Structure 1
Amino acid sequence: MNITFEQSTNIVETYDFIEVRIHVENPSVANPFTEAEVFGQFGLDVEPFTFTHGLPDGELGTASIRPGLIPVDGFCDSDDGSLYRIRFMPSEAGAYSYEAVFTAGGQKYHTSGTFMAENRGRKGLLRVDPDFPFHFQWDNTKEHFFYHGMTAYHMPGIQDDAEIRRSIDRLHACKVNRIRIAVNSSRVRNGMAWFEPVYDSEDFTFLYGPWIAERPHDHTYPGWDVTRFDIAYWRKLERLLAYALSKDISVSLIMYLDAYRRGCDPFGPHHAGGLDEQRYYRYAAARLAAYSNITWDLTNEYRLIRPHAWVERMGYFLKSCDPYHHLMTCHGHETFDFRLSGWADFAVYQCWDEHGGYAYMLRNRETQLAMGRSIPQVNEEYGYEDHYPSAWGEGKKAPARSADRLRRIAWEIAMAGGYQTSGEYAGNGLGGWLNGRGDESMLLPKTLEPLVRFFEHLEWWKMNPGQVELIKGTGYCLAEQGRQYVIYAPEAGEIGIVLDRGSYEISWYNPREGTFYPGFRLDGSELVARCPDQEGDWVVRIQSAACRIPEKTTP
C-alpha cells in the first residue's frame, strides 16, 4: 500500500473542523471498516505534559496536564478502503498541532501537522447553561437558545438534496431552530403504519439506513452487513447537517426509530450493546461529532427495544466516543429514568395532548429539582398537527390536535419553564412530521412562531414558574420577581397579580397573531387589568424599567 496524507486547510474557524485525509493506493485489507484504524491527538500547540524530575528522595515531583490535548477517532470513507478521514473541531482560537496514525495490515503510518484556529463568531456547541441549568446556551457566544423543535423523522429519506434544503428553509423561516431526524429509518412500507398517507415515491423513501444492505429495497429483510457502512448515505447525512448548520438549526440524531419493526434492528436482544452495535455508535461519533449543531438521542422509545441497562451502557459509551461531548438524551415515554445519569444532559418526555401541558411539565421540573440535579426539561412529543390514529391516541377527534390546540399546549409548556417539539400535518401526503416536507397547508410552524418571537424579547432563562399566584383570573405565571413577569391567560378576561413594589411597563401580547398592543405604566404592587378583547388567549408582559426591551406595537 502507498499511503499519502492531506491536510484540508491551514486556517480554520473555531467550531468548524479541519480534516486530515488518508489516501490509500492499492488497499490490501478485506474490510476497511474493521481491519484498519485512524486515530489522532489534536491540541493547542503547547507542551501537553510536564514533570519535574531530580527532586531529593522523599519529595514528590510535580506534574501538570494541559487540557487542550484531545484524542479523536477517524473513519473509513470508501467502500474499498482507499480513503479515510479524521476530523477535529477546535473550540479555542490559537495555534494547534496534531499527530495522526493510520494502522492497516499490521503496519502503522504516521503524520503530524499544524494549523491556526480563528474565532469569527460562530455560536459554538449547544450546552446547558451552568448558571441557569434548566436552559440552554451556545458556548461560544453565550447566547441563550429557546429550544423550538419540529419532528422530521425520515428527512434523510428525501431523495433530492434541493428538497431537503427547501424543507429546512421553510422551517427556519418560521423560527424552528431544532429538528429531530432518524439516522436509522423505521423501514415501514408506507406512512399508514401511523395512519398517515405518505408513500415511497421518486421523491421520498422510507428505505435507508447506516449499513450496506444485501436487499436494500426489502422493507422486512434488508440483509444488513453491520460491519460495513453505506458511504453514500452518510455523505448525504453530512450535507443535511451542514445545511442545517448554515441556518443555525440544531439536529437531534436519533440512532434508532421504531426499531421493534422487523428489518430495523439487526442486533436484537442477543447482540444489543455488543461490538458490532458499538461500532455503529462509534462510527457516527467519528464521522459527525465535528458538526457543531448536533445532539444525540440514543434511540426513540427505548422501552420498546432495549432494557434500562442498555441505555446506561450505550449512553456512557457514546459519550466517551464523542470528543466534544455534545448534548445527549434518550427518548422514552411519560417518565425520564436517567435524571442523575452522567451521560444524560437533558430530560425528554412523550406525553400527548393536555396531559403533557403545564401541570405535567411543572411536576417534572419539581421532581428534577428534588433530585438535586437541574437539567432542561423537554416534552419532545406532545402531539402532531391533525394526527388522529384510530388504533391509539385516546380516540381523539378533530380539532383536538389542530395547530391552534397544539399552540396552546406549547405555551403551557413554556410557562412551566420547559421546552417542546411538535410535528406538522402529514395528511396531505407530503410527509409533515414523518419527513419534514410541507407546504402552505401546514399551519403549525407559523402558528407557533409568535411563541418564539415573544420569548426572544425576554431574559426567559432567569424566570421561574409556580412562584407567583394570580389574585384574579385564570392563568400561568413566569417570574423573576421584582424585575420581569409573564402571565399566560388561556381565556380572555380579567387578570390580577401582586408584584414587588416598583415601576413597571405593562404590555399585552396576542399569541395568535404575534403582536404587542399599546401598554401602560404601573407604579405600585398590584395589577388588575382586562384583556384587550374578550376572545381567545392572551399574554401579559410585565417589565421593570431595568429590563424593558422596546417592541413595536400594533394599533
Structure 2
Amino acid sequence: MGDRAEVRIDGPRHGNPFVDVDLSATFTRGATVIRAGGFYDGDGRYVVRFLPTEAGEWDIEISSTEGSLDGLRGRVSVARARDGRHGVVGVADRFHFAHADGTRFTPVGTTLYAWTHQPEALQQETLATLAAAPFTKVRMGIFPKSYLYNEEDPELYPFESADGGGWDVSRFSPGFFAVLERRIRDLDALGIQADLILFHPYDRWGFADLGPEADDRYLRYVVRRLAAFPNVWWSMANEFDLMLEKTEEDWERLAAIVVAEDPAGHLLSIHNCLRFYDYARDWITHVSLQRIDIYKTAENTDAWRDEWGKPVVVDEVAYEGDLDQGWGNISGQELTRRFWEGTVRGGYLTHGETYLSDDDVIFWSKGGTLRGSSPPRIAFLRSIIAASPTGAIDPLPGEWDAPWGGVAGEYAIVYYGFNRPSFRTLVLPEGEFEVDVIDTWNMTVTPVPGRHRGRVLLELPGREFMAARLRRAGT
C-alpha cells in the first residue's frame, strides 16, 4: 500500500483558472489504473492527488482543457505507507468497518463542528486534547457555523471575496483549504478519521444556498482536493432536512458527484434532524443519524441495522453538558449508558460535550479541553469491544429486559443499563465459559471465580450501569 501522492504542474494563471481550466490524470502501474481529477491551487499551480494501492513507480498522463497541460506525461515514485497506516476505512462484515488492509476499525466519534475555524492556539489545544482522548473519528464541518455560541467570524473562508461585497463562488481560497488539510493530516497522525460535513444549515454567509451550479463546483473542488487523504469520510450534510432549499433530487445529484470524483471510494452518508433519509440508497455506505425520538435513542440501533442492512453510526445521541437545549444537557452517566446500549445492539455512537463556558468555547463546536465524565468511560468501553474475538459486537438473542451482544457462542455482553438487579441467573451457551461482572461507570471488571456451564447465579451490587461478560474458556 502506497502513501498519498500528488503531481504539481505550473500552468496559466490568467482569467479564472478555477473554472477556465479542467484537468485530470491517469496513474498506471502494471494493470492497475487510477483516474483522478485535479484542481487549481492558486499562483499558477495545478495539482492532481491520488491514493496509490501500492508503492513503486507510477506512470502519469495528464488530460486537460488547457492545451499547454493536455498530454503531459511523467512518472511519480510512491513511498510505502508509513508504519501504523492501514489505508482507507470501508464497510466490513456488512455491519462493521475495517481498513483497506483488513485491520478492524471501531468508530468512536466525537463532535467538533467548527474547530478548524478557530484561532490557531485553540486548534492546537484541541489536538492536544484529542491525543489523550479515546476518539477515533471527528465530525467536523468544512463551512463555518453560525448558531448558538457560534457568533464569531472566522479568519478564512472557502471562497474569495467578490468586488462590491459577498463571495465570488467561482474562486476558491487555497489558504482556507491549506489550513483544513493541515488539520486532516494532524488527525491522521493521531489515528483519527475526519468525518467531513459537506453542507449544513447553520449559516449567515450564504453558503447553505449557493445554487446548483456553485454547489456542484464546490463539491468537485473539495473532493478532488481531499479524496487522497486516507482518513477522510464524507457526510453530505448535517441535518439535511433543515436545508429546505435543497430537494431530494438535489441530494442525489450531489452525492453522485462525490462518488464520481472520489477514486478512493471513501465512506459516504447523510445526517438527519427530524426525518431519516432513505439509507437504502446504493451510494450510502453506512447509516449516520440523529435520534428522532427524544427519549428512545440507542435502544433502536438493532432495529435500524435490520431495516437498512448497513452499519449504524448514531452520530447524534445528545451531548453531555448543561445547556438550556435538550440536545445538550444529558449527564455523563446517561451518555455512557447510551454508548453501551447502542454498542451491545451492534452499532457505533458519537460523543459530544456542551458545558457552558464564559468565553463560549464549547467543545462540541469549537474544541478546546474536555470537562465531562464520559470520555474515560468511553475509553473503557473501547477496551471491552477490542476484547471481542472479532473486534466487533453484534446483537445476540437475549432476555426481554436486558440486551445481549457479542460473537455467537464465543463472547457476550449482557447490559443492565438503568436497571438495578441484585442478582441474575444467566443461561450460558453450550460449552464452558468464564464470567465477569462489569461496572461500566466505575470501570471495573470482577471475575466470577471458576469456569461455568449451563447456568450461573450472578451476584450484582444492586446499582445502575452494570453488565456481565461471558468468554469461552481457553480462548
Contact 1:165 1:243 in 2 (8 A): no
Unaligned runs of 5+ in 1: 1-13, 47-65, 216-220, 369-373, 548-555
Q: 14-23 or 482-491: which moved more?
A: 14-23
Contact 2:5 2:78 in 1 (8 A): no
Indicate the structure (1 or 2) with the bigger Cα radius of gyration. 1
Q: Return the alpha-carbon distance in structure 1 between the equivalents of residues 407 and 159 of structure 2.
A: 50
1:166 corresponds to which residue?
125
Contact 1:154 1:185 in 2 (8 A): yes
- Cα distance per residue 1:413-472 (max 9 Å; x no partner): 111111111211241122210122224x333323422222221222366643251226xx
Q: CA deviation at 1:387?
A: 4.5
Contact 1:509 1:517 in 2 (8 A): yes
2:4 corresponds to which residue?
17
1:77 corresponds to which residue?
41
CA separation of 1:349/1:107 partners in 2, compared to 1, >3 Å: closer, same or farther?
closer
Contact 1:482 1:501 in 2 (8 A): yes
2:161 corresponds to which residue?
213
1:57 corresponds to which residue?
none
1:450 corresponds to which residue?
380
2:105 corresponds to which residue?
145
Q: 315-324 or 256-265: which moved more?
A: 256-265
Q: CA deviation at 1:323?
A: 0.9
CA separation of 1:401/1:363 partners in 2, compared to 1, >3 Å: closer, same or farther?
same
Unaligned runs of 5+ in 2: none
Contact 1:356 1:382 in 2 (8 A): no
1:434 corresponds to which residue?
365
1:49 corresponds to which residue?
none
Q: Return the alpha-carbon distance in structure 1 between the equivalents of residues 300 and 333 of structure 2.
A: 20
2:116 corresponds to which residue?
156
Counterpart among 12, 32, 44 of residue 17 in structure 2 = 32
Contact 2:96 2:392 in 1 (8 A): no
Aligned residues: 468
The answer to whether the aligner puts 1:501 opposite 2:430 as a matched pair is yes
The answer to whether the aligner puts 1:281 opposite 2:219 as a matched pair is yes
- Cα distance per residue 1:467-516 (max 9 Å; x no partner): 1226xxx4221143321111111233222322222111111222113232
1:294 corresponds to which residue?
232
Counterpart among 256, 266, 270 of residue 199 in structure 2 = 256
Secondary structure at the aligned position of 1:318 is classed as: helix
- Cα distance per residue 1:214-251 (max 9 Å; x no partner): 49xxxxx9612110001111000000000100011001
Q: Return the alpha-carbon distance in structure 1 between the equivalents of residues 277 and 292 of structure 2.
A: 18
Secondary structure at the aligned position of 1:468 is classed as: strand
Q: Return the alpha-carbon distance in structure 2 between the equivalents of residues 89 and 184 of structure 1.
A: 25
- Report percent identity of matched pairs: 24
- Cα distance per residue 1:58-108 (max 9 Å; x no partner): xxxxxxxx4x21111111111x4x212111211224442222245437773
TM-score, with structure 1 as normaliser: 0.78
Contact 1:154 1:206 in 2 (8 A): no
Counterpart among 245, 259, 262 of residue 188 in structure 2 = 245
Secondary structure at the aligned position of 1:296 is classed as: strand
Q: CA deviation at 1:295?
A: 0.3
Q: Return the alpha-carbon distance in structure 2 between the equivalents of residues 316 and 437 of structure 1.
A: 36
Q: Return the alpha-carbon distance in structure 2 between the equivalents of residues 91 and 347 of structure 1.
A: 27
Q: CA deviation at 1:15?
A: 4.7
The correspondence of residues 34-49 of structure 1 with structure 2, limited to 5 A, is: 34-44=19-29, 46=30
TM-score, with structure 2 as normaliser: 0.91
Contact 2:2 2:80 in 1 (8 A): no
Q: CA deviation at 1:213?
A: 2.7
1:10 corresponds to which residue?
none
1:477 corresponds to which residue?
404
Q: Return the alpha-carbon distance in structure 1 between the equivalents of residues 52 and 20 of structure 2.
A: 29
Counterpart among 384, 389, 397 of residue 459 in structure 1 = 389
Q: Return the alpha-carbon distance in structure 2 between the equivalents of residues 222 and 445 of structure 1.
A: 44
Q: CA deviation at 1:147?
A: 1.1
1:6 corresponds to which residue?
none
Contact 1:36 1:103 in 2 (8 A): yes
Counterpart among 136, 139, 143 of residue 97 in structure 2 = 136
CA separation of 1:228/1:350 partners in 2, compared to 1, >3 Å: closer, same or farther?
same
Contact 1:165 1:240 in 2 (8 A): no
The answer to whether the aligner puts 1:382 opposite 2:341 as a matched pair is no
CA separation of 1:172/1:353 partners in 2, compared to 1, >3 Å: closer, same or farther?
farther
Q: Return the alpha-carbon distance in structure 2 between the equivalents of residues 137 and 345 of structure 1.
A: 13
The answer to whether the aligner puts 1:234 opposite 2:177 as a matched pair is yes
Q: CA RMSD in A?
A: 2.5
CA separation of 1:528/1:209 partners in 2, compared to 1, >3 Å: closer, same or farther?
farther
Contact 2:87 2:99 in 1 (8 A): yes
The correspondence of residues 295-444 of structure 1 with structure 2, limited to 5 A, is: 295-305=233-243, 306-333=246-273, 335-351=275-291, 355-368=295-308, 374-389=309-324, 393=326, 401-428=330-357, 429-439=360-370, 441-444=371-374
Which amino acid is 1:164 matched to?
Q
Contact 1:357 1:409 in 2 (8 A): yes
Q: Return the alpha-carbon distance in structure 2 between the equivalents of residues 379 and 461 of structure 1.
A: 19
1:118 corresponds to which residue?
80
- Cα distance per residue 1:382-426 (max 9 Å; x no partner): 111224435xx39x9xxx601221111111111111111121124
Q: 299-308 or 491-500: which moved more?
A: 491-500
Which amino acid is 2:301 matched to?
M
Q: Return the alpha-carbon distance in structure 2 between the equivalents of residues 460 and 528 of structure 1.
A: 27
Contact 1:95 1:117 in 2 (8 A): no
Which amino acid is 1:301 matched to?
E
1:59 corresponds to which residue?
none
CA separation of 1:15/1:148 partners in 2, compared to 1, >3 Å: closer, same or farther?
farther
- Cα distance per residue 1:176-202 (max 9 Å; x no partner): 01001110122x2xxxx43x4x553xx
Q: Return the alpha-carbon distance in structure 2 between the equivalents of residues 91 and 165 of structure 1.
A: 32
